[in-house]
Amino acid sequence: MNVLKTVKGFADLFPPQSNLYTFMENTARSVFSAHGYLELRLPILEYTELFQRGIGTDTDIVGKEMFTFPDRKGRSLTLRPEATAGVVRAYIENGCQSREKVSRFFTCGPMFRYERPQAGRMRQFHQINCECIGAPEAQTDAEILLMLMTFLGDLGIGNLRLDMNTLGCHVCRPAYRQTLDAFLAALDQDKLCPDCRRRLVTNPLRVLDCKEPGCKEITASAPAVRDHVCADCAAHFATVLDILDAEKQPCHINPRLVRGLDYYTRTTFEVVATNIGAQGAVAGGGRYDGLARDLGGPDVPGIGFACGMERLALLLGARKGGSLAPRPDFYFVILEEACAKRALFAARVLRRAGLAGTGDFSPGSLKSKLRLAARAGARYCMILGESELAKQEVLIKNMDEGSQAFVPLADLAHWASGLF
């Protein structure tokens, strides 16, 4: 029979890799909850319409990257390709607006995009996502950006560049679109890549952040959104930049940063790692002041970001994952079958006393058992054979020092407390 494998672009995460994910989530919980963000756990499956209306049908994500399929009654469902649309749907559906002026949420979990897998790009990947809904002012943009950079700093990740842009609002964007359309119409469009030729019709703004060198070159002098935004948007962006500057948070204005989702307005940003190659964007986000309204909800502003955990894991490195592995305090072994029940009870006593460990409750030679304890990396090997059992004691071997001592089984909890 053939051996079954994971779906292409989906991965099993074992330690030490999975330790990195736990570390990232725990750091996120601590940083984000200190900023008033509450954890949400949302469904990974949504009606397809949510993403069509939220992200936009002309985006690559909705156009060609979603895992979409009918349910048994023919309704179109999609595995979420991102979290923001779902968070805003949940916000509306649960009437958050009537309970609080500003809602702050974070979520961690898997997302799904049918992309070409490579290092840092998976079909099932994981995001840490933060959303602040209800606060229009620039101070919120600055605060969430500073929070993101604090989080990345607490993970211990360096060599990061914060790219920023503003995309204007529903007042100033249409006029900018006309200026951009006129610029694009005058180009030798045959020199654009096939994707950009399609975008000319469906989503011209996206031509600006095409990564193809040819497209970059011929659109180099394209009008920048930032030079065409209204006075309100310009002042909003200036305030964000001012606060970042005052907080000594460096950033780089990237006039071509458009982002791949259509809900963005005003501030947009990406955090780029300068040392992991092609898939360098480790986080991205921005303001989405029209999204709740577009999803049939109240006209409330929002801003948020998502970090890609696979890319952060690449930056943290497997060595870090290894060093995060908790070391077991003990490993319990028995030499004869008659000791198994007593050993199991004793291990439970040790855990109740605050130690962590497991064991091997099958009979075997002392040598093979010590090898198991060493492989588990335990600090102490607890050895119970028939002779120890008869005396109601256990032999405890210090695996680092090689020393050993007999301890009465009845004194195990006391012995454990001496380790702290």
Task: Give contact residues for ligand HAM (rule: CB under 6 A).
Answer: 82-84, 113, 115, 120-122, 125, 127, 129, 131, 260-261, 281-286, 288, 304-306, 308, 310-311
Nearer to ligand HAM, 286 or 385 (CB): 286
Strands 160-166 and 252-253: parallel
Six-digit token string for 18: 């999975």
Smallest separation, CB 111 to ligand HAM (Å): 7
Whether omega for the bond prior to residue 16 falls within 30 degrees of 0, making it cis, is: yes
Identify which of residues 264 and 330 has a Cβ nearer to ligand HAM in the complex. Answer: 264
Question: Please, what is the minimum distance in Å from the beta carbon of residue 350 to ligand HAM?
Answer: 41
In this complex, which beta carbon is closest to ligand HAM, that of residue 121 or of residue 177? Answer: 121
Torsion angle in degrees (nearest 10) through CA of 146, 149, 151, 153: -130
The one-character DSSP state at 84 is H
| Smallest distance, ligand HAM to C-beta of residue 117, A | 8
Min dist. Cβ of residue 126 to ligand HAM (A)? 8
Nearer to ligand HAM, 86 or 321 (CB): 86
In 3D space, the residue among 115, 8, 7 whose CA is nearest the CA of residue 60 turns out to be 115
Edge-first strand listing for the sheet containing 357-360? 357-360, 330-334, 380-384, 393-398, 404-408
Q: Which is nearer to ligand HAM, 307 or 396 (CB)?
A: 307
Shortest-Cβ-distance residue relative to ligand HAM: 308
Q: Whole-angstrom Cα distance, residue 383 to residue 360?
A: 10
Shortest Å, Cβ 411 to ligand HAM: 52
What distance separates the 2 farthest-apart alpha carbons in the chain?
94
Burial pattern 382-410, b for ≥16 Cβ within 10 A else e, equals bbbbeebbeeebbbbbebeeeeeeebebe
What is the smallest separation between the CB atom of 75 and ligand HAM, expressed in angstroms?
24
Q: What are phi and psi of 187, to 5 degrees?
A: -80, 160
d(CA 199, CA 56): 13
Cβ proximity to ligand HAM, 148 vs 335, nearer residue: 148
Q: In angstroms, what is the minimal distance from the CB of 65 to ligand HAM?
A: 8
| Rounded least distance, CB 182 to ligand HAM, Å | 29
Q: What phi and psi, each to the nearest 5 degrees, are found at residue 289?
A: -70, -15
Quick one: 315 or 346, whose CB is closer to ligand HAM?
Answer: 315
Residue 198's CB is within 10 A of a number of other CB atoms, namely: 15
Q: Which is nearer to ligand HAM, 260 or 357 (CB)?
A: 260
